[in-house]
Structure 1
């Protein structure tokens, strides 16, 4: 018996999950000589013992995903409902000089970015092999002066292909700014969606338009800057409505270096858990997984930053395959990242009317947890200065929730627990 697995390729129905209108927009970029799409096709993937290297993961509906390996080649993989790998094969042997991100286009096409080009690859023969590559974008402001793509591509819910450009000035005398720009096949020019004084190294966009971007500031050694910015929907090309002010991407959070093991956090990925939208980043060098719970208060985005766990192997790529089901990837193949890690940890930290509420994944040691000296809570003012807070621990009946009761500082402070 030849153990081969056949995938019913209903992927065409979910090429860009939850992205309405993206297929119609990107179809305009499809090669005109493509053959008609078949109503149903099968992709044959043979289980093999060779372990793929993984630098980016792109879910394509069901337990299936495209991935990018360390050579810049695109592969396709199938998983069981528990995200155990069943099999994989290369979708293309062409080696792209690609950044660690992929986006999904119509007709089994894949969009990738190198520092110098945004590229779309097609399977025109429908034989499970990318055989037609075309440049979508090769020109942008400052390109002739050395401005390059630093992150992306990402497709938002409006069907726009977003990518980040290195800092540049639009005219003489302007301050150089990094920009996230949008390409649409029905527009003659790319559109700037947000600006930043710091280079954008990684970014992701949630379905509601919330942008999470990791900003580069290599001289700062105590942490890593993350921005949370709401992106407005695009206006029609010939709209008479004046455009609102361009959102500016500022650091919203600093991920403490001690939380990451002094390793760079990469691959920000939104996911759903316990009815909340969360953000996950991976630190391959330390194997730390960083969880962020974004929240908006007083018109500003902020959030709690937690150490979610430590992966058994270095993880370079993250993706939410289905709500709450996270798949990681690295030099040793794919790795499901569920929340069954028994490590003792804080699940959430939240402000309460009378203090700070901590929720743990296991009951605390009441003898230790009731002692105030076992907690260190400091308020760091955004304008500078650090203050130690005196708080009284109160343990709730479930043993997993601790209220640190006391007076907390007002807005403009970061609490470090």
Structure 2
């Protein structure tokens, strides 16, 4: 087996592990009476999106044959359930299917943090399947679809002067997309009946949050380095930057938190870590380690302020998907316009790189928000998306899943 194939399969397992890590991270942040419900949103997305990706999702990327709209949408029925790809020597291509599937799952699961404590399970599953189909599956092709070594998705193949968009591992298609959808669902479902205040935002299990953050960081090495293939120099740079930026993100966040709120917190450190990881995702192969550290510091500091915007603007993004993923995703993408190696405005290039970063970031954000808002409204108007007030107060674990996370008798 070729080393590149082995490495990509290992990276796929690492990225798969990120979704349970996200479940731990989110599960620790909610109240004790809603832990199972919160974690089930991630595990439900794992079950559903993996299956849909194999059945038709991979075909919808423009890398698949029989595309419907060049550069935009592949034919979902061109190789239903990958029967042709899985036969004979073609089966080696399934490694790319496996790697892409893990990105589809974690992206969808990220959205669930915005609706913690008030979303019903099966309406969430319906939303997850539809959103992944309409938004995520085609957009992965927009950014990363290749014909040989040539980019064929409309984002990947776009040029602004001599600049091309840079999004190594998903600043747009993963974090901006999920963050925009999270904002839309937060607006659709409205505020929690109880718990929407900074004073009530205490997590029930801080160690679980830190375990989840650690698992996410571990899995992120697969997330960022998988596409490097056999290029040891690129993979090594990415690996180091995936250490540098989140480490700096911790520092940036807790320093601001200390001066803003009086104390650095463990949840703040975990949030800064995530902010740094999100920001470095699109930029990991195109920054020197120094600029990766600066990026992490900046993302951590800005996100420490950004997560409080929900209280000022009145949208209930329960677990700060907007404040971390949407904000840090934009920071990571636009930062490349300034400091990308050889092409950033201050590193040898001109303003073309910034334009090339802005266009796809804004388009993906608007598209994902519009689809998520429409889907959320339709689901809420038909089968109901939100639990009742009494169910919310009682806690979702017993109401929706017939059991509690902790038993003390």
Q: TM-score range by the shorter chain?
A: under 0.3
The structure with higher relative contact order (CA 8 Å, sep 6+) is 2
TM-score (norm 1): 0.25
Of Structure 1 and Structure 2, the greater helix share is in 2
Radius of gyration: which is bigger?
1
Of Structure 1 and Structure 2, the greater strand share is in 1
